[in-house]
Every structure is written in structure tokens, then in C-alpha cells.
A and B are shown apart, each in its own frame.
Chain A
Amino acid sequence: MSTLVKTAQPRSRRGRSGSNRGRGLFVGGALTPLMLYMIFWTLFPMAWALLLSFFDYAPAHSGGGFLGLGGDNAFIGLGNFRNMLGDSLEAQKFRISLKTTLMFAFLVLPLNLAITIPLAVAIEAVRGRVKTFFRFIYFLPTLTSSVGVALIWRYIYHPQRGLFNMILKAVGIPAQIWLSNPRAIYLGVPLALWAIIITYLWQDMGYNLVIFIAALQGIPHDFKEAAVVDGANVWQIFWKITVPLLRPTLLFICVMTMLSSFQVFDIIQIMTENGRPQDQARVMVLDIYLNAFRFHNMGWAGAESIVLFLIVLVVTLVQMRLLRTRWEY
């Protein structure tokens, strides 16, 4: 027995070595271009943003030293980060944008889940082509360009010619100035932000819906059948079987939805023109964009992007801690 093993081992190792080399070549060949791409287009810009955050950098200044850092683009250490707590206009706008971003992200996530999970269960319950039809219809907005969506919804919200106000008028409710009335605040949230959240949910929910449907299809029927045998009703099955078994998917959805909510930009830029009225829709990415490319304040924008990165990192880690599972089915 031991002899057999000893004689077989060298052959096996030679075989593995050959296949390992081939696999290594394949992996190297496949991953190296992607790695280079990531280094140039992701890691390098991130490192550059981090570096800029320590300088009072504006591309229009000639600067000095290495990469134009120095001279007029002076090194200020943690000055940008300290100034975020100060009274300057940039700091005030930054804090407004931070508050708006948090409000937006923490409203979008629960609303998204509240819509998509029951909807996914309902769609999963139907059979045949009807299911495909619903899945297609709900997924369609996800495929649409955000710019197009923002333009159409901006028109839907138009105070005089918009569809929503026509409906409100038809049922005797006073028309609303959806996107430009800073005095309209509901549940502590400006109406303009509510309007954007509705649009964002409309476009984004199809993605989560499809993932939830796929996850629901992966839950073994045995569990539900066993619950039925034990006398559980539909509501109990949903809360005690379906939702807990969706937890790994829920983690993925929560992280991805939160990430995209923190990065929202195009819809807001188009629907509210730079976050108006009165900065009520000014989110962080918009503030970063305006500071970097409109106000030539790239050092400040770099510092803001680092803060956003850290916030997203912390929120993601918390989500992963809260929603992680230690089991499989």
C-alpha cells in the first residue's frame, strides 16, 4: 500500500505541476490586463485623491515640485479635513451634503427592501409567462439611462404641465411644486428629496427584485412544506422561513444598494440642477463634483472623497457584521 503510494506520488506531482503551470499561465494572462487596468484607473486615481486631500490644490495653479504639488498648490496637511468642521461656505455645503446623503441612503434602503421583497415573493408565486413578463417590466427601468430617467421624471414633476399635478388636480388635491419649493418639507425630509427618492426607487428596484427572485428560487421547497405541515400560515412562512433564508442575499442587496445610494449623482444633477432648492438635494458626490470641476478646488474635493470613502467603508462593514450568516442550505 505504502509502496503504491510512493510510486504514484511523483507521477501525480509531475501531472499537477504541468497543469499548475498551465493554470498559472491562464490566470496570469487573464488577470494581468485587468490588474493593470485596475491599477491605472482605480488605484491610481484613489491614491491621487488621497494625495490631493493634503494640498490646497487647484489644477489652474502652476504649483511646483513633483506633479505640481507645492508652490501655489501648497501642502496643508490635514487642513482640508480640519476645515470641514469650520464655518467656511465650503464646510457648510459639505455638512449639508453629508446630511442629505445620509438621509437619502437611509431612506432608499428600507424603502427599496419594503417594495422589492414582497414584490419578489408575489412574482415568484405566479407561474409561467406571467412571471417572465412581470420580471421584464420591473427590470426595464434598470436598463434605462439615468439621464433619460431624470429628464422624463423632471417633466412628470413639472408644476404646471407635469403628470403628477394633473392627477392631483383631477382628484381635487392642490398641485405641488415638487422640485423647487424649499418650504415643502414632509416628515422632516424636503419634498424635492422625496421626489428624487421616488424616481431613484423606480429605476433601481428592478435590479434588487431580480436578485431576490433568483434567491427565492434557491430556497428548498422542503422547508416551506415542513412549515405548512407544522401549521404555519403564509405570514409565518414569510417571516420565519423566507426572510431568514434570504439573509445572504439581503446582505448583498443592502451593501450594493447602500453603495449606489451614497454615490447618487446624475439623477440629482439633472432633476435639481446642482442640488437646489436651497441645497436641499445637494449630495456628497455632487458637492465633490462641483468643488473639483466647477470651483477648481480639487484638494478640498479630494478630502471630501476620502471622507465619503471612509463613511461607505464603515457602513458596509457594519452591514456585513449585522447581516453575516454562519450557515448554508
Chain B
Amino acid sequence: MHKRLLLSGLAILLVLGLIACGGPAAEEAEEAPAAEEEEQIELRFWMHQNPAFIAANEEIIRRFEAEHPNVTIKLESFEYDLFIQTLQTSMPAGTEGDIMEMFGSWVCSYADRLAPMPESVLSYPEAKEQFYAAPLDGYYCDGKLYGLPNEFNIENGAVLVNPKMFEAAGLEFPPQWGTTEDLLADAQKLTQTDGDVMTVSGYHFVSGDGLAFQFLAGILQRGGEYWKADGSGMEFDTPEARETLEDMKSWIDDYQVTDPFLFNGETNWVGESFFSEQVGIGFIGPWIVPVGLEEYEIEFDYVPIPNYAGDKHYFAADAGWGKLVSPNCEHPDVAWEFVKFATTNADNAMTWNIGTGTVPALKSVAADPKLLEGMDWVDASLEVLDYGRYVGPLPDRDLFWYDIVYPHILGVFQETETIDEALVAIDAESNAMFE
């Protein structure tokens, strides 16, 4: 009995001690600066860890602070996976950053935990005038705008090419492809094998991100639609989707420009294998170019690709990085001012795009020739930006991309399922997301 009492007493003392150490002292520390310097405002800015993105945001913060001497914006960055986890755990606790740089396709999932943008900052119609629809619409949920994009995340419209390989195969460079067949004919000549093993993929288009983007673009360019007319769900068991898959499968079966067992999202990922000279033509977004320039020494270019069908390069995009404000922010007016400063001011937006090597979401930046002085490779993507649209209100972008579309299309290529089976499965599983 005494022992129990003793232990309980000790435990209570320890807990009280911990509370005593943490509570009042911490409160005093928080209250002190506010009392001393009333005009000083400190905001926390959260973002994912990427050196180029950090440097670009630091520059924008520096400019904002120069114009607003009473404001300090403290940048806090997190490794990508940790960033997502931290957002998910901090938001219910109300401890997230005051301003956050988030990916557009996440926004509607987090809308409950985000502050809607006041119309006085920028209304949706005004924003539509200034920004491309594809990135902006990722930030528009249930009739409210929750932030503004800096980036137009695009994977379609252009590919990486290796000039040395083109030269060695006796091909014209830069390539002038009029049709997808022209591209595939070049890719066939670039493909190399050692016995049964493909050592160089002429056209590596099988990746976790790339397959869904190509699939959706193929449907749209054939005049199809993947959303049901009433918007209640998705539709993939359609002639346009079937034709798109048949076409993509023929690139493997008939043209043999890649081996889906050796070159896919897990083995010989397109970015890595292209820069290690195992790929002649690689389907990937322009965001890879700065990575290639920074980390690899090979010569490469980024060139436009022909339409899969039709005369317009229609495609679906999943928004892009942009800036939002927490509903727990104590100075929302200042936070929104910063968001507007970073995204709608053409100089700042261009600095951010050039610094991060991303395609602009702001139309005026995309139209400015100065952009190409900083990043000439982006020219290949700029041509098609007007044909892009937001992928749509997917309940879970990653689930759709990586657990539904990619595995089934890869299954078709690896012949573990038929095109019909894959389409039925993609249709059913996509619609299950809405239940």
C-alpha cells in the first residue's frame, strides 16, 4: 500500500514537474515579443524540401520583407513524405504554418483545414483571367478559391531526347515529328538489345506519372471524355479509352520501342535511365530538365511531340505548386498579401518559375520572352498550355494515378490482364473512390 502510494505520488510529482517546466515558461516566452514589439509580425512558411524551390521562395520572401519591414517570414521545409505527414498531423492540432506551399491536386482534400481566399484578394473570375485553367482549378473547391498557383504542372507535350544517340543512329536532330508514327520510327532505330535483353529503350513512356497523363490525353485528343456527363463519377470503358490503350500497347508489341518489364516506374525509371543513357526518348515533364542540368553531365534536349490524335494537343494536368493560408493564421491579411505578391506579381512569379525550373501558371509570365532567356527548354511546353485542363475533382489523386491507372495499364503491357479487363477495372475502381 505504502509502495503504491509512494509510486503514485512520485508519478504525480513528475507530471506536475513537467507541466510546471513546459507551461508558464513557454507562455511567457510566446507573450514576451508580442508585448515588446507590437508592430512586428512573424509568419511561418511551410514547404517541401527541394533546394531550388527553397532558394526561389527565399528570394520572394526577401523581396516581400524588404517592402514590409515589420513582417518576418520564417521558412520551414520538410522532406517530401514527411511534409505530407506533418500537414496531416499538424492541421488537426492547428499548428501548421501560416502560409503553405502545397500541390494543387491536394488542395480540395484539405479544403476543410484551409482558409478560403477572400474575394478582396482576388476573385475566381479575376484569377481565371490571369492564370491558366489547369493549375488554377486545382485550388477551386466547392465554389471557393483556396489559394493561387505558381506552377503549371505539365507532363504532356514534350519529351527528353538524347542528341548523341540520334546522331549515332543516323537520325535527324532536332527531330521533326509530324505524327506519333514518326516518333516511333525514330525510337525503333534508337532501341538496342543484347540478346534477349533490351539495353536501350528507344522510347521510355512507362512510368507511374506518365501513363495516366498519356492515357487521359489520348482520350481527350480522340474527342472522348473521362468524366460522366453529370459529374458523378468517371467513365473509362469507352471507345476512346480502348483505342488509346490499344495504340499504346502497339508501341510495345508492334514497334518494340521499350520493354515494360525492364523499363517501368520501378525498374529503370525514365528520368534516371535517360540520364544514364539507357533511353533515347523519354516521356516526362519539363520539371526534370533542371534536375538533369544540375546532376548529370550528358547532353540532352527537350522537344515537342506530335498529337496522339486530332489536331489539338488536349491534355489533363494536375494543377501544380501554389500558396495557401492556414485558417489558424493570426495575420491572414498579411499572409494573403504575400500569396498574391508571390503568385500574381509577374516579376516574382517569373523569378520563382526560373528558379525552380517550372512552367508558369501565370499567363503573362508564359507570354514573356524573358522567360526563355532563363529556361529555353520550356518553349516546347509553352505551345500546348492553352489546351490543358485540370484533371478534375478526384477524391484522391495519388490513389487514381498510382494504385488504379498505372498498375492496370502496366498489367496490359506485361500481359497480366487484357485491355478490356483493365478498362473495366479502372472504371470500377475510379468510381469506387466517390463512394
Segment of A29-37, A129-137, A226-234, A249-257 in the binding face: A29-37
> Is A160 a contact of B404 with CB atoms below 8 Å?
no
Interface residues of B in 5-63 (CB under 8 A from A): 6-7, 10-11, 14-15
> Is A72 a contact of B112 with CB atoms below 8 Å?
yes
Contact partner of A60 (CB less than 8 A), chosen from B3, B15, B91, B262, is B91
What 0/1 readout, one digit per residue, does chain B (376-400) give for beta carbons within 8 Å of chain A? 0000000000000000000010110
> Is B429 a contact of A183 with CB atoms below 8 Å?
no
Is residue A28 contacting chain B, with contact meaning CB distance below 8 A?
yes
| Chain A residue nearest to B260 in the complex (CB) | A180
Known: A36-B15, A279-B407. A179 touches B266 (CB 8 A): yes
Minimal beta-carbon separation of A14 from chain B (angstroms)? 14
Is residue A221 contacting chain B, with contact meaning CB distance below 8 A?
no
Is residue A276 contacting chain B, with contact meaning CB distance below 8 A?
yes
A residues less than 8 Å from B14 (CB atoms): 32-33, 36
> Is A278 a contact of B411 with CB atoms below 8 Å?
yes
Is residue B95 contacting chain A, with contact meaning CB distance below 8 A?
no
Is residue A25 contacting chain B, with contact meaning CB distance below 8 A?
yes
| Chain B residue nearest to A178 in the complex (CB) | B267
Contact partner of B411 (CB less than 8 A), chosen from A88, A159, A177, A182, is A182
Measured in the bound complex, the distance between the Cα atoms of B84 and A146 in whole Å is 23
Known: A36-B15, A160-B262. A62 touches B112 (CB 8 A): yes
Measured in the bound complex, the distance between the Cα atoms of B11 and A35 in whole Å is 9
| Chain B residue nearest to A59 in the complex (CB) | B88
Minimal beta-carbon separation of A99 from chain B (angstroms)? 17
Known: A274-B402, A293-B85, A294-B84. A28 touches B266 (CB 8 A): no
- Classify chain A: how many residues form its interface, as a range: 35 or more
> Is A296 a contact of B267 with CB atoms below 8 Å?
no
Known: A28-B10, A180-B264, A279-B407. A293 touches B416 (CB 8 A): no
> Is A32 a contact of B398 with CB atoms below 8 Å?
no
Contact partner of B112 (CB less than 8 A), chosen from A60, A174, A277, A298, is A60
A residues less than 8 Å from B278 (CB atoms): 160
Is residue A80 contacting chain B, with contact meaning CB distance below 8 A?
no
B residues less than 8 Å from A225 (CB atoms): none
What 0/1 readout, one digit per residue, does chain B (258-270) give for beta carbons within 8 Å of chain A? 0001101111100
Chain B's interface: helix, strand, loop or mixed, by majority? helix
Measured in the bound complex, the distance between the Cα atoms of B91 and A62 in whole Å is 9
B residues less than 8 Å from A24 (CB atoms): 2-3, 6-7
Is residue B92 contacting chain A, with contact meaning CB distance below 8 A?
yes
B residues less than 8 Å from A159 (CB atoms): 197, 261-262, 267-268
Minimal beta-carbon separation of B423 from chain A (angstroms)? 16
Chain A's interface: helix, strand, loop or mixed, by majority? loop
Measured in the bound complex, the distance between the Cα atoms of B416 and A181 in whole Å is 10
Measured in the bound complex, the distance between the Cα atoms of B249 and A101 in whole Å is 33
| Chain B residue nearest to A71 in the complex (CB) | B112
What 0/1 readout, one digit per residue, does chain B (283-305) give for beta carbons within 8 Å of chain A? 00000000000000000000000
> Is A278 a contact of B112 with CB atoms below 8 Å?
no
Is residue A272 contacting chain B, with contact meaning CB distance below 8 A?
yes
Is residue B432 contacting chain A, with contact meaning CB distance below 8 A?
yes
Interface centre among A27, A31, A179, A294 (most CB of B within 10 A): A294
Residues of B participating in the A interface, judged by any CB pair closer than 8 Å: 2-3, 6-7, 10-11, 14-15, 81, 84-85, 88-89, 91-92, 109-110, 112-113, 196-197, 199, 261-262, 264-268, 278, 396, 398-399, 402-404, 407, 410-411, 414-416, 429, 432-433, 435
What 9 A-B pairs are tightest by C-beta distance, nearest first? A62-B112, A59-B88, A28-B7, A180-B267, A60-B110, A28-B10, A24-B3, A273-B266, A89-B429
In addition to A67-B92, A159-B197, 8 A-B residue pairs with Cβ atoms within 8 Å of each other are A24-B7, A59-B91, A60-B113, A62-B112, A89-B432, A180-B262, A293-B84, A296-B109
A–B Cβ pairs within 8 angstroms, 25 of them: A21-B6, A27-B7, A29-B10, A31-B7, A36-B14, A36-B15, A59-B88, A60-B88, A60-B109, A61-B112, A72-B112, A159-B197, A159-B268, A160-B278, A175-B197, A179-B266, A180-B266, A181-B414, A183-B414, A277-B410, A278-B411, A293-B81, A293-B84, A296-B88, A296-B109
